[in-house]
Amino acid sequence: MPRIPWPAWSRVQCVGTSYLLPLGLALVCTACVRGPVDPVGPPSVVLFVADDQGLFMGAYGQSSVTTPHLDRLASEGLRFDGAYAVTAVCTPSRAALYTGRFPAGNGCDGFGPIREGVSIWGDLLGPAGYRTGLIGKLGGKPLERFKFDFFARNLPAHPGARSVDWYVEQLEAFLSVDDPRPFCLVVNLRDAHYPFPTDGAPTGRSEGPEPPHDPARVTLPGFLPDLPAVRQEFARFHDSLRRLDVTVGLMLEVLDERVPAEELLVVHTTDHGIPFPFAKTTLYEAGIRVSLVARWPGTIAAGGATPALTSLADLLPTLLELAGAPVPEAMDGRSLARVLRGETDEHHAAVFGSHTHHRQEPMVPSRSIRVGDWKYIRNYRPDAVFKNAVMMTSASWGAIKAEAQTDSDLAQRVANLERRPPEELFNLADDPWELTNLAGKPEASSELEDLRRQLDAFLERQADPLLDG
């Protein structure tokens, strides 16, 4: 049965720290292909944000998914191989995207509102000269504080929630507005969130047949055990991804017909990792590592890849800089403009993750840091039993629990997920699936101490509530 070796994104060069490691990434020669030209004025922007996609598109080496339109988008622009969500829960992840601030700064560490006084997306992009819009889910609170000039919201039970045609119709309605301003449109797509389709998710709009994916032919990531129920659920996840891809492809067709390519920055990403055990709602790589691609002909060279460590909190400051607007000092994100233009592959020296809760009690919060090939996770409630929505709904989790009755290695993994060890340390170059915890091992003591210190300093800067116990 096919298995995915994580692509070379497990090795990210980190500059400015003691971890300067060789790149395992296929970087494009910037001197040969990157020749940006200055556009006239800020670009219009379309930001696609999928639910729960993680790295699952062909451009990231996932061979069994059906994502030709997203792969073409990546080939026409820049692929980020070191992009991270700040958390693996949808609402606080999107809050960081909408505010450019981490959960401790914006006040949203679960499903609550963004703190009063924190500037949100439209508060800044409207005055910067953009006509703003949103299509799809909002994924943020409070509703009245989100200022969009065009607002086509859907809820999970809405007839258009996963309708290809509904999304295209809303895009055409948005583009039909006569307004001279550049626009900034967020398209939040509910695929590939659970529940997955059971009928193959045919759209009738694909360029080829749309049969359900064969469980025997899907390629499982190495953090999931190869069990029939896992394969079945993963195949249905593939069906959802295909419908997502068709939706984006049809919307790109409309955009390509209506907006000059050199005047449009198209970005695609996702809120966090996939909705499977050991991924969503955790700070493992499978939970917070995300796909991120950007296309802007004439400014972003086609076919490139960058190892720059990147956070979804970087997107708002990027758009503000491109618009010539000031970036508030309170923002944690940093503009990616120089990375987009091919001027540098260096960005953050470290990336941080945060998890507090996901509608399950008790809360089992954790914080993480990645520097180079080293990843450190601190879990604050080793005494408590960790639960999440995936455990409540996933057929994969039930199968994993059953298999763990006779598989001692899997039983230990299940035990470590349910009762989190106080500290976890991984060398991602040697252990990309994070299966071997090196915390407490003498050979990794210096890395552990350094990452503890860096995480402590970050939490102090953030005034993280966990510091108060």
**Chain segment 180-219, per-residue pLDDT in tens:** 999 999 999 999 999 999 999 999 888 878 999 999 999 9
CA separation for the pair 91, 309 (Å, rounded): 22
Whole-model pTM: value is 0.92
Q: Which residues contact 1 (CB under 8 A, 6 or more apart)?
A: 216, 220, 226, 231
Confirm if 123 and 147 have CB atoms less than 8 A apart: yes
pLDDT at 31 over 50: no
Least confident of 127-131, 331-335, 357-361: 357-361
What is the pLDDT at residue 1? 52
Does the pLDDT value for residue 233 go beyond 80? yes
The two structure tokens encoding residue 379: 């879990």
* Same fold flag, 3-23+42-349 and 353-468: no
Question: Using one digit for the tens of pLDDT, what is the confidence trace for 43-61?
Answer: 999 999 999 999 999 999 9
Domain 3-23+42-349 matching CATH 3.40.600.10: the answer reads no
Instruction: Name the nearest CA neighbour of 10 among 45, 52, 61, 73.
Output: 61
pLDDT of residue 185: 98
The domain ranges of the chain are 3-23+42-349, 353-468
174 falls in which pLDDT band (50, 70, 90)?
very high
Band of pLDDT at residue 361, cut at 50, 70 and 90: confident
Query: In whole angstroms, how far apart are CA 234 and each of 59, 65, 76, 237, 242?
Result: 19, 10, 28, 5, 13
Section 71-99 average pLDDT: 98
Pick the CATH number of 353-468 from 3.30.310, 2.60.120, 3.30.1120, 1.10.10: 3.30.1120
CA proximity to 246, closest of 207, 198, 295: 207
Least confident of 33-42, 61-70, 168-177: 33-42
E strands within 203-356? 220-221, 264-270, 292-295, 304-306, 310-311, 351-355
SS3 236: helix
The pLDDT mean for the chain works out to: 91
Supply the pLDDT for residue 173. 98
Residue 10 pLDDT:
40
The stretch 353-362 carries a mean pLDDT of 89
Query: What does the pLDDT average to over 292-317?
Result: 98
Of 213, 251, 235, nearest in space to 70 by CA: 251
CB 372 within 8 A of CB 342: no
Cβ-Cβ contacts under 8 Å for 4 (sequence gap 6 or more): 61, 62, 63, 219, 220, 221, 222
For position 207, what pLDDT does the model report?
A: 80
What are 247-273's pLDDT values in tens digits?
A: 999 999 999 999 999 999 999 999 999
Alpha helices in 259-379 (DSSP H): 285-288, 315-322, 337-340
Q: What's the N-to-C CA distance of the chain in angstroms?
A: 46
Q: What is the pLDDT of residue 2?
A: 53
Q: Is the pLDDT of residue 38 over 60?
A: no
Arithmetic mean of pLDDT, 11-26: 35
**pLDDT band at residue 350, thresholds of 50, 70 and 90?**
very high
> What's the number of CA atoms in the CB half-sphere (13 Å) around residue 456?
6
**Residue 21 pLDDT > 90:** no
Confidence at residue 209, expressed as pLDDT on a 0 to 100 scale: 82
Is residue 439 a contact partner of residue 375, using CB atoms and an 8 Å limit? no
